[in-house]
């Protein structure tokens, strides 16, 4: 008689369970949870940027996280690291080639074109915040999922725009308590770029060893500017001797750039002329800039943000009319890291006005109604209705630094009263339950804040 299969089945289940138990639960490389304790930094950054956007008349836009891969290939550039190595790009169930957005500018320009924003008074000023994705080698300050604050001014070619953008970012950093400096350069117009590229190719061809020439054959042919911001040590050594773009700018480009610098002088914004700053995205023309902490001006990995003018992107994406534009992106994780280093916001605690404590089931039911009443009247209130012991409720009230604790017991419920205690002075009083919100606002919370 064949043996029943029961035992085999049991064995398989046990093996699968064991395997599951042994597998470490973790986030993907370069992607992080943002825990409740860190949220104060995030809301600080977001609140401040919403304020600034309001003051400078930028409207919020939100674009999808997924877009056609081609949008980024055409805008950020085929030869860029972002497209070559870092795009999270895949084919979906409908056989479409799509990508997680590695930056916002391309999506915002796509939205501008799609929604006919060229027909409203120009410029169109837009801002956003959100997650971006780049498959980079994770290291300090470099994540695979990170957040940016992004500002764009579309439909205006005047150099005052770049100065205003730099001014806005500078003001933002100042309000956060960070002292930054901006590195600026001009990449000129598309007309003067070929001459400069030719000069760069000639320089690198002579200065490079044969093996380097071989390694960077593609860049030398397609985009020699990229050699200037390479992290390769050999190339960095050659950088100082390389021809500088400022010597190749045509008159219009020079005037444009010097006008930006004059505005920066007027606004008293500290900047460094940075002739080798080319940025890693292909769409830039004229002014480009990057923000660094004042103390670490040349740290190559620590730019807190960057941006520039990109007058040709719209046509690259199919617009029939030119849309001159400029913008910047700021790395939120990097900004938060600097706030932490400076010990900023560390002591910032959530302010709780009132903790509602209860003893006994009847009191708990009444306390739940009271909680809603206080909350609806704008008082910040906290509870722990799952706990019965007064001691553990008071411990929590202490921990969250509640100004006032309200204690509701059986006796108070039957007499329609409640005990108010000021946690700092220890002063307490029994008052009528129905007047509690007014009483708190009039005599207790106000008294405490003075």
188 binds ligand HAM (CB under 6 A): no
Residue 199 CA to residue 205 CA, distance in Å, equals 10
How big is the site for ligand HAM, counted in residues (CB under 6 A)?
Answer: 27
Smallest separation (angstroms) from ligand HAM to the CB of 8: 49
| SS3 state of residue 87 | coil
Residue with tokens 């029943």: 4
Contacting range for ligand HAM; rule: CB under 6 A; set: 109-117, 141-149, 237-245, 415-423:
141-149
Say how many C-beta atoms besides its own lie within 10 A of residue 84's C-beta. Answer: 13
Q: Cα separations (Å) of 298 from 170, 358, 436? A: 18, 59, 59
| SS3 state of residue 34 | coil
155 binds ligand HAM (CB under 6 A): no
Residue 240 CA to residue 402 CA, distance in Å, equals 59
Q: Give the number of residues written for the chain.
A: 450
Q: Cα separations (Å) of 56 from 126, 171, 317, 371, 372? A: 10, 11, 28, 39, 38
Contacting range for ligand HAM; rule: CB under 6 A; set: 63-71, 201-209, 300-308, 315-323:
300-308
Using the minimum distance from each CB to ligand HAM, give the nearer residue, 32 or 387. Answer: 32
Q: Which two tokens stand for residue 383?
A: 């509870």
Residue 2 CA to residue 125 CA, distance in Å, equals 78
Contacting range for ligand HAM; rule: CB under 6 A; set: 134-142, 314-322, 337-345, 412-420:
134-142
Contacts to ligand HAM from residues 77-116, by CB under 6 A: 103-105
Please select the residue that binds ligand HAM; options are 142, 215, 447, 448, rule is CB under 6 A: 142
75 binds ligand HAM (CB under 6 A): no
Residue 445 CA to residue 450 CA, distance in Å, equals 9
134 binds ligand HAM (CB under 6 A): yes
Contacting range for ligand HAM; rule: CB under 6 A; set: 214-222, 323-331, 377-385, 397-405:
323-331
Q: Which two tokens stand for residue 150?
A: 């992004």
164 binds ligand HAM (CB under 6 A): no
Contacts to ligand HAM from residues 387-416, by CB under 6 A: none
Contacting range for ligand HAM; rule: CB under 6 A; set: 3-11, 45-53, 135-143, 373-381:
135-143
Residues that bind ligand HAM (CB under 6 A): 103-105, 134, 136, 141-143, 146, 148, 150, 152, 280-281, 303-308, 310, 327-329, 331, 333-334
């Amino acid at each position: 008689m064949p043996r029943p299969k029961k035992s085999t089945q049991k064995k398989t289940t046990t093996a699968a369970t064991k395997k599951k138990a042994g597998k470490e639960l973790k986030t993907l490389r370069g992607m992080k949870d943002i825990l409740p304790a860190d949220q104060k930094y995030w809301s600080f950054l977001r609140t401040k940027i919403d304020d600034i956007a309001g003051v400078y008349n930028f409207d919020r836009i939100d674009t999808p996280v997924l877009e056609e891969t081609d949008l980024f290939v055409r805008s950020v550039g085929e030869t860029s690291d972002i497209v070559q190595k870092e795009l999270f790009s895949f084919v979906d169930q409908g056989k479409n080639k799509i990508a997680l957005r590695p930056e916002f500018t391309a999506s915002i320009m796509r939205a501008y074109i799609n929604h006919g924003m060229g027909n409203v008074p120009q410029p169109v000023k837009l801002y956003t915040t959100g997650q971006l994705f780049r498959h980079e080698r994770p290291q300090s300050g470099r994540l695979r999922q990170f957040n940016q604050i992004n500002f764009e001014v579309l439909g205006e070619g005047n150099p005052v725009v770049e100065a205003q953008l730099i001014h806005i970012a500078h003001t933002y950093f100042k309000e956060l308590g960070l002292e930054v400096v901006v590195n600026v350069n001009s990449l000129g117009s598309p007309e003067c770029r070929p001459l400069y590229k030719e000069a760069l190719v000639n320089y690198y061809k002579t200065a490079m060893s044969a093996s380097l020439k071989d390694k960077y054959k593609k860049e030398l042919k397609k985009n020699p500017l990229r050699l200037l911001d390479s992290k390769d040590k050999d190339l960095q050594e050659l950088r100082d001797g390389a021809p500088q773009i400022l010597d190749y700018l045509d008159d219009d480009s020079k005037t444009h750039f010097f006008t930006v610098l004059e505005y920066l002088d007027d606004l008293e914004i500290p900047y460094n002329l940075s002739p080798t700053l080319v940025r890693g995205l292909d769409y830039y023309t004229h002014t480009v800039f990057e923000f660094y902490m004042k103390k670490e001006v040349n740290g190559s990995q620590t730019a807190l943000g960057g941006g520039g003018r990109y007058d040709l992107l719209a046509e690259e994406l199919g617009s029939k009319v030119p849309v001159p534009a400029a913008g910047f992106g700021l790395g939120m994780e990097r900004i938060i890291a600097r706030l932490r280093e400076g010990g900023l916001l560390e002591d910032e605690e959530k302010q709780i006005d009132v903790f509602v404590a209860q003893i006994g089931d009847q009191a708990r039911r009444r306390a739940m109604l009271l909680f809603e009443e206080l909350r609806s009247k704008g008082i910040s209130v906290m509870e722990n209705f799952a706990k019965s012991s007064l001691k553990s409720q008071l411990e929590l009230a202490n921990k969250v630094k509640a100004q006032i604790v309200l204690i509701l017991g059986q006796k108070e419920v039957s007499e329609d009263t409640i005990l108010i205690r000021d946690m700092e002075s220890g002063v307490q009083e029994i008052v009528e339950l129905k007047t509690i919100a007014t009483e708190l606002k009039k005599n207790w919370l106000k008294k405490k804040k003075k």
